Every structure is written in C-alpha cells, then in structure tokens.
Amino acid sequence: MGFNEEVLRLAGKIPKGKVTTYKEIAKKLKTKAYRAVGNALNANKQPVIIPCHRVVKSDGSLGGYCGVMNSKKKKFLLEKEGIKVKGNKIADFSKKRFRFKK
C-alpha cells in the first residue's frame, strides 16, 4: 500500500455532503507532504471512487481541479451535495468540514 493508495482510500471515506482538506489527509498519514496528497489525487487510477471534489484547501478554497474535471464542475458537484460555495471557496466550510477518525 503506497502513499497515494492511502490518500485515495481516505478520500473515498469522505461522507456525502462533507469536505476535507489535504492537510487532514496528510496528518492522518503522519506526513508533511501536503503537496503529495494533491498529487496523489491527480495521479489516481480510479477517479470514480475518489470524490476529489470533496477535498479542498485548508482555507476553504476549492484548490485546483480534479484530473479532467475543471473547477467549475467541482463547484457544481459540491453545491449539489449541499455544500454552499462562494466564488471558489466553501461558504460554511467549518461546518461541513469532515475530520478523519484518529
């Protein structure tokens, strides 16, 4: 089980209607490679099981994009799940934020 596999697995555990951050994932993996987390999502082999649109930056920004997906689509998906998105940021981010069980 490589680093990216763990990242993908964790990302897949995010409940519907919730979001998490790259930071949370990195911390869960006991690493400081926050960038590698995003990189893993980018290089994921199974985009369908990876709701990367639920993974955002720690300040609530959507971040970049998700593979072939553009930021617009990402925003749309988030709103569809009940998450308010203001511009390219999560409106009630602190409320919808999901933390992995330690």
Partner DNA sequence: AGTCGAGCGCGCA
Partner DNA sequence: TGCGCGCTCGACT
- Only one of the segments 32-40, 82-90, 93-101 lies at the binding site for DNA (rule: CB under 7 A); that segment is 32-40
Angle at 33 between CA 29 and CA 34, to 5 degrees: 90
Q: Between 4 and 91, whose beta carbon lies closer to DNA? A: 4
Stretch that binds DNA, among 15-23, 75-83, 87-95 (CB under 7 A): 15-23
Q: The tokens of 20 are what?
A: 């998490």
66-95: b (≥16 Cβ within 10 Å) or e: beeeeeeebbebbeebebebeeeebeebee
β-pairing, 85-86 vs 89-90, is antiparallel
52 is catalytic: yes
Q: Which of residues 56-75 bind DNA (CB under 7 A)?
A: 57-59, 63-67
Contact pick of 8, 10, 14, 40 for DNA (by CB under 7 A): 40
Name the site residues for DNA (rule: CB under 7 A): 2-4, 21-23, 26, 31-44, 52, 55, 57-59, 63-67
Catalytic residues: 52
